[in-house]
Structure 1
Amino acid sequence: MTLPFKVVAFDMDGTFLQDDKKYDYHRFNHVFHRLQDHGVQVVVASGNPAQILQQYFTEYTDQLTILAENGAQALERGRQVLASTLNRNKVHEAVAFLQQDLGIAPALSGSKQGYFPRNTSPEFMEHMGFYYPKHVIRDLLPLPADDIFQISMLVKDDAVPGIKTKLDTKFHGELDITPSGNDSIDITKPGINKGWGLTQLLQRWHLTADDLIAFGDGDNDLSMLQLAKYSYAMPNGN
């Protein structure tokens, strides 16, 4: 049987993972090897940092591709093949605005590790600490000597639209502001999203969007769902 697609990309939280942040390993193992038999590339496409995604797939990191940081970083079979980081001046400006004007303590996702502010709440630590097993707590300004992929913050769902509007008004398209589900908002480089990252990978593999099937549930999945010829939004999607 010939499959109509050559690349399958899926989001993690709210799509692939169960509510307890786990997945059916035996079922995935069966499907994964069936896809491999058909020569299909498997892409884990998430807003999360690569470090936590690799922990989910320790037995598969040398066989699949991880598209992390909402498309800003890609690891193909464990080797980085794509990295697009934020402008440092914009990171400084965004962190200052969040902390001083909005009273929000953000997390910085760096190429080396995550960075959390000193005044972080227990709720923030529990949530963000899960996604950044490797992190340090420090003053975010001046910025750490690291390349920053994205800025993330924990915001109650009912406050997300208002915070997004304030950030959009402040930065006028100089930064992309995207709700990513789980009461969080991500700030990324303009034009850098899962769709962009997948486009780079497709070009690398000499394939097109017609060869792609994608699954997602959140606003940060829209770009890849719109890109893929075959796309599926989860029933729990927003």
Structure 2
Amino acid sequence: MTQNLTYSQDFTEFKRGVKISIPMLLGIIPFALVLGSQATQKGFSFIEVHLFTGLNFAGGSEFAILELWTNPPIITFLVNSRHLLMGASLVPYLRHLPNKQVFPALFFMCDESWAVALEDAQKRQAQTGINHAFNLSFYTGLCFALYLMWVGFTALGGAIGPILGDASRFGFDMAFPAVFLVLLRGMWKSLHAARPGLVSLVTAALAYLYLPQGWHVPIGAVAGIASAY
């Protein structure tokens, strides 16, 4: 009886994660179509688009790789270096879980799933006072929807890319920044708490303008950490 109740609660939290993801999907889907279309224009096959997005689940680095295809590993590392900090911020909430659950959770971590799951864990911790506030079932539902839609719609974008042509002319590329702005609004606490983010933003913008592509991400991250310290 207790086990059935646990399964029911886990499924309820899984569905809550899927439901929370729906507004984000409205921004992710058009962005995924643009990426798939651009990948096709770069010569990717349908299978290669699937592998490209499924094995490297990070949209920012995928766009950067398409622009600078001469050295994909370095570009991927630079743009995804923010994940080092994102993963570290989840350590207090994941340390009670076995590695066989932690490693897959970190693989499916993206900006959206990280921000929403961290906010959910912080709220649960504040309400209940428990340290193990990370809801793995909720996070699984969230990641399931985001991953499925991202991989699926990038593949669709790749399939219809020759018909669409330059999909960015429709304004789809603005969808992802809009999602990020909504996520930032949800994480807002105070002007003082936002200072490291502002320092990171200004530093990253300057690095983006004056340094080679990709370096603005780690430089902005280090500047934000130094400001918080």
TM-score, length-scaled by structure 2: 0.28
Larger Rg: 2
- So what's the TM-score if we normalise by structure 1? 0.27
